Each structure stands twice: as C-alpha cells, then as structure tokens.
C-alpha cells in the first residue's frame, strides 16, 4: 500500500527536527523519516568529539541551549541528548530506522521508497546532512591496501589505530583535532595541510564565535564569496576540547606535529607531498587577518577598547616533501565533505556541478514542492550550523505550509 502524507521531512538531525518543529507550529501534517536514530550523525562522531562552537550557539527554534554551561562546548553524547530532548519536547513525528532509498517526482508531488514502503507526498524537505560524503584526495588509491585507512566518520580514537606513525590528510577543524589527540596519545603525527583559515579562540573576553555572529560574518551569503567553489573551503581551525583552545598550524607544530604540504600520492615506498606548506599557511593567515580586522571594526563601532590582537608569528615554510610509508600505522582522511544527493534522488536539473541544490530560499528551482534545509551556505554561512539552521527551517516550513493551503483550497 502506498501511504499519502502532505509533507515528508527526510533526516532527523538538527535541520530535519527544526523544520519539523516549525511545521508542527504551523499545523502541517508531516512525518520525519530517519534512517538511523535521531541525531544519528552526531552519534557517529569520534569518541572525544565536542562542539567547536559554544553551547549558547545552539539556538534551534523553540529549543535554545538552557543548560548550566552556555560558554562550554558540549561533548558528543550531550549534543545527542540536546537533540533527543528537542524531538521529545514537541513530540516530533519521527520514524526511526527508515531510510529513503529513492525519491522520484510525480504529477502531483513525489514518490519516496523506503526499505518496506512507498510514500506519496506533496512536499518533501530534504535534510539529509550538511556534510554527506568524505572527499578523498586524488592519489589516495595509491596507498597500499594493507595500510590502515579511515575517514573522519569512521575514526573513533587513537587506540583503535594500528601501532605506528599517523598521517592525517586534511587540516580543517577535524584534521587538526584528530592530529592533536593522536599526538597526545604518544603517536608520531604527520599532518598534510591545505588552505584553512584560523582564528584566536578568544578575543577581548569573547569567544571568536560571538564575534562571528555580531560582525555579520556568519550571515555571509554564497554570492558574497569569490566563487561558488569557495564554499568548499575549510571552516576556521579551532578546538572546543578541554573548555576550548587555539588550534592551528603554529600550535600543532609547536606541540610536535610534523606539518607537510598537500598529499600527492605514493612513489617507491615514499608518500609524497607538494612543497606548498608556506603558501597554505599564508592563505590561512590572510583570512585570519581579515577576521581579526572585522573584530577590530566591530569593537570600534561598539565603542569598546581596541582589542589587543597579536599578529601571526613568523612561519618557517620548510618541511619534508616525502615520508617513509613503512613507518605509518594509519592514514586518517580529513579532507572535507561533498554532497551525495544524486545517489538516491532522481531529480535531474535539481543540483549544480558540485552537487549542491539549485534553489531560492531553500525551494528547488527545478521541482516545485522540493525543499532543502541544512545545506552548507544554503542561504548564509550559518545555514548548516546549530545557530543558523533554524532561520532557514522557518522560511522553508512557511513555504511548505503555504503550498499545503493552496492545495487544500
Ligand atoms: C566534524 C564536524 C563538526 C561540526 N561541529 C559543529 C559545531 O561545533 N557547531 C555547529 O554549529 N556545527 C557543527 N558542525 C556542522 C553541523 O552542525 C553538523 O554537520 C550537523 O550534523 C548538521 O546537521 P543536519 O541535520 O543538517 O545533518 P545531520 O546531522 O547529518 O542529519 C542528517 C540526518 O539525515 C539522515 N539521513 C541521511 N540520508 C537519509 C535517507 N536517505 N533517509 C533517511 N534518513 C537519512 C542521517 O542519518 C542523519 O541523521 C560540524 C560538522 C562536522 C562534520
């Protein structure tokens, strides 16, 4: 039997739950289909994972963080708890362990197939994750199959890695944090670095995230970036572990991590790296200076004392361009994510060359009734974040509700 539902939300993470909350407020009949359990993606993060953004940054509609540590950084299981409480609080109509295996447009909406049912819906909101599929570097296939290799989603802790040195490929937030904890566990760690911005954790008594919100940095749109591909750049390097601290190329090198250029592949028992570490660090420093200038300007406009922000220290770009593969125990891929909608959605023309939805205010430009929430830079830089996804959820839910009213009249 085919079930008929006005609206289906796919994904029970923060984006799907926030949208569902808003649909509930607007009395729109809907279900949330989640292939795992609520907050499944957060459940799968590594053991020591905690937020990079402070707890007060969790501002889902109707469920702002109200715990005892607004300036703390929730560990993995507390984030899951925060989202579980959200779903319970408004009795989210979530069906867990239901994976949507295909979505096809029909004359009057969409047909969704799951492992044991079919559902027809007038509107579908796709909230299947801001960061969907690990991006592996060209040359990864050259690594010998008997060398342990894992991506960020599969990584748990340093003890699960086979003995030997650890090579982390990718130097965004996750790569830096994993490199740091492997080093602390006594491993020799090599970090293959790319272009990543960085920021001081705290500036003038405020977390840098607060400055990001106040300066409008988090409200930047896709159109304000130099190119659409710039949305693939890493988020700024920092850590929330242990109450939050600076974590970037200079702190990692000072602690003992060997920094390297871009990974190039394997050649004659050696792993090869480009001689471009200096360029990558200079790129990150340039973004760092821009962010700090925004903060200075914001402080000036608020009449605050000029913040004391030290300039980046000189950086020695010299580093090895190869390492001996026989000493490696594990390789961790931390090169970011790409969308994977098109593996299960049969909606030609709905996505751009990079696989991101083509849309206006979250509504697909190709398929009326199809919406997206929780996409990196959907409307703004904060669209995929706990702080900003709610704004998009409200806008999308309003469109779903309006379409529903039109259908029923
Ligand atoms: C390593 C990392 C650290 C991050 N740290 C922060 C942070 O500190 N602060 C912050 O604000 N943001 C952070 N983010 C960004 C963002 O908050 C998270 O990526 C968050 O998980 C996005 O929520 P979401 O609901 O959009 O996607 P997800 O949490 O990925 O939820 C999508 C859900 O959809 C389900 N699903 C997928 N496909 C299907 C299908 N076909 N059928 C049914 N269900 C499906 C999945 O099981 C999942 O539960 C981080 C991201 C990463 C990758």
- If you average pLDDT over residues 142-160, what whole number do you get? 97
> Which residue among 131, 235, 378, 381 has the greatest number of ligand 1 atoms within 8 angstroms of its CB, and so is best to mutate?
131
**pLDDT score of 407:** 64
Please list the helix, strand and coil fractions of the chain in percent, rounded to the nearest 5, in that order.
35, 25, 45
- Cβ atoms of 299 and 305 within 8 Å: the answer is yes
pLDDT range class, residue 405, cuts 50, 70, 90: confident
**Å from CA of 158 to ligand 1 middle:** 23
Res. 235: pLDDT tops 70: yes
Measured by CA distance, the residue closest to atom 16 of ligand 1 is: 385
- Which residue puts its alpha carbon closest to atom 37 of ligand 1? 128
Average pLDDT over residues 149-159: 98
pTM of the model: 0.96
Distance 366 CA to ligand 1 centre (A): 25
The Cα–Cα gap between 27 and 180 comes to 47
DSSP-derived secondary structure letter, 369 = T
Of the candidates 193, 201, 166, which has an alpha carbon nearest to the alpha carbon of residue 181?
A: 166
Q: Counting atoms of ligand 1 from 1, which one is nearest the CA of 98?
A: 43
153, HSE (Cβ side, Cα atoms, 13 Å): 12
Which pLDDT tens digit goes with each residue over 36-53?
999 999 999 999 999 999
Q: What is the mean pLDDT of the chain?
A: 96
Mean per-residue pLDDT for 49-59?
98
Any idea how long the chain is?
A: 409
Nearest to 43 by CA among 13, 4, 10: 13
DSSP 8-state secondary structure symbol assigned to residue 21 = H
- Looking at the chain, the whole-number percentage of residues with pLDDT higher than 70 is 99
What are phi and psi for residue 7, nearest 5 degrees? -135, 140
- Label residues 120-152 b or e (16+ Cβ within 10 Å = b): bbbbbbbbbbbbbbbebbebbeebeeebbbbbb
CB atoms within 10 A of CB 156: 14
Average the pLDDT over 357-374 and give the result: 98
CA distances, 92 to each of 67, 69, 88, 95, 224 (Å): 21, 26, 6, 9, 35
Pair 37, 30: CB distance under 8 Å = no
pLDDT (tens digit, 9 = 90+) per residue, 12-35? Answer: 999 999 999 999 999 999 999 999
Q: Kindly tell me if the per-residue pLDDT of 143 is higher than 60.
A: yes
Q: How far does residue 165's CA lie from ligand 1's centre (Å)?
A: 30
Q: Which residue has the higher pLDDT, 85 or 409?
A: 85
Q: Using CA of residue 79, residue 14, residue 245, residue 276, what is the dihedral sign?
A: positive
390/209 Cα distance (integer angstroms) = 17
Cα dihedral 115→120→122→123 (10° resolution): 0
Query: Any idea which residue has 């871009």 for tokens?
Result: 262
**Ligand 1 atom index nearest CA of 53:** 8
Residue to mutate, 9, 10, 12, 13, ligand 1, most ligand atoms under 8 Å from C-beta: 13
> Looking at residue 356, what is its pLDDT?
97
Task: Quote the DSSP letter at residue 73.
Answer: -
pLDDT digits 0-9 by tens, 176-216? 999 999 999 999 999 999 999 999 999 999 999 999 999 99
In whole angstroms, what is the distance from residue 271 CA to residue 253 CA?
A: 20
- Average pLDDT for 128-143: 93
Please give all residues whose beta carbon lies within 6 A of any atom in ligand 1, as ranges: 10-16, 33-36, 40-42, 51-53, 57, 99-100, 127-131, 174, 344, 374, 384-387
> Is it the case that residue 406 has pLDDT exceeding 70?
no
The whole-number pLDDT of residue 173 equals 96
- Please report which residue ranges of 310-388 form alpha helices under DSSP H: none
Confidence at residue 1, expressed as pLDDT on a 0 to 100 scale: 77
CA distance 186 to 172: 22
pLDDT of 409 > 60? The answer is no
How many CB atoms sit inside 10 A of residue 5's CB? 18
Residue nearest to atom 39 of ligand 1 (CA): 128
Spatial distance between the Cα atoms of 218 and 64, rounded to a whole number of angstroms: 18
Long-range own/partner contacts, residues 139-145 (CB < 8 A, 24 or more apart): 139/263, 139/264, 139/265, 139/266, 140/169, 140/263, 140/333, 142/265, 142/266, 142/267, 143/266, 143/271, 143/325, 143/331, 144/266, 144/325
Cα 12 to ligand 1 centre (Å): 9
Asked if 406 and 28 touch (Cβ cutoff 8 Å), the reply is no
Query: In the structure encoding, which two tokens stand for residue 92, read together?
Result: 């989210």
Q: Give the residue-averaged pLDDT of 394-408.
A: 87
What's the rounded mean pLDDT across residues 223-246? 94
Q: Which two tokens stand for residue 356?
A: 């991101």
Q: Cα torsion at 274, 276, 280, 285 (round to 10°)?
A: 160
CA of 128 to the centre of ligand 1 (A): 7
> What tokens does 134 get?
């690990």
Q: Where are the alpha helices (DSSP H) in 141-276?
A: 173-184, 208-215, 249-255
């Amino acid at each position: 039997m085919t079930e008929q539902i006005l609206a289906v939300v796919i994904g029970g993470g923060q984006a799907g739950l926030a949208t569902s909350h808003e649909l509930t407020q607007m009395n729109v009949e809907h279900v949330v289909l989640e292939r795992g359990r609520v907050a499944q993606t957060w459940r799968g993060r590594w053991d020591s994972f905690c937020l990079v953004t402070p707890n007060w940054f969790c501002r889902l509609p109707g469920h702002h963080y109200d715990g005892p540590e607004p300036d703390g950084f929730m560990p993995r299981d507390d984030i899951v708890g925060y989202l579980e409480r959200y779903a319970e609080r408004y009795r989210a109509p979530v069906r867990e362990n239901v994976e949507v295996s295909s979505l096809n447009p029909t004359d009057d909406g969409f047909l969704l197939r799951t492992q044991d049912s079919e559902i027809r819906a007038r509107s579908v909101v796709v909230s299947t994750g801001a960061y969907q599929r690990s991006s592996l570097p060209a040359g990864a296939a050259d690594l010998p199959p008997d060398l342990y290799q894992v991506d960020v989603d599969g990584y748990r802790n340093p003890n699960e890695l086979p003995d030997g040195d650890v090579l982390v490929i990718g130097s965004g937030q996750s790569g830096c944090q994993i490199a740091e904890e492997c080093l602390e566990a006594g491993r020799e760690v090599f970090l293959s670095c790319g272009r990543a911005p960085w920021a001081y954790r705290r500036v003038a008594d405020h977390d840098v995230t607060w400055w990001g919100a106040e300066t409008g940095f988090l409200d930047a749109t896709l159109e304000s970036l130099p190119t659409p591909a710039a949305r693939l750049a890493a988020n700024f390097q920092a850590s929330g572990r242990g109450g939050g601290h600076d974590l970037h190329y200079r702190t990692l090198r000072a602690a003992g991590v060997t920094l390297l250029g871009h990974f190039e592949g394997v050649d004659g028992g050696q792993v090869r790296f480009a001689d471009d570490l200096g360029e990558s660090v200079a790129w990150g420093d340039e973004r760092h200076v821009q962010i700090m200038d925004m903060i200075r300007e914001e402080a000036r406009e608020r009449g605050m004392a000029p913040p004391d922000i030290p300039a980046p220290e000189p950086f020695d770009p010299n580093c090895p361009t190869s390492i001996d593969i026989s000493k490696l125990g594990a390789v961790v891929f931390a090169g970011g994510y790409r969308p994977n909608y098109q593996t299960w959605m049969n909606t030609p023309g709905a996505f751009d060359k990079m696989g991101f939805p083509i849309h206006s205010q979250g509504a697909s430009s190709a398929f009326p009734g199809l919406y997206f929430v929780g996409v990196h830079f959907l409307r703004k830089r904060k669209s995929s974040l706990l702080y900003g996804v709610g704004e998009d959820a409200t806008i999308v839910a309003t469109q779903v509700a309006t379409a529903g009213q039109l259908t029923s009249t």
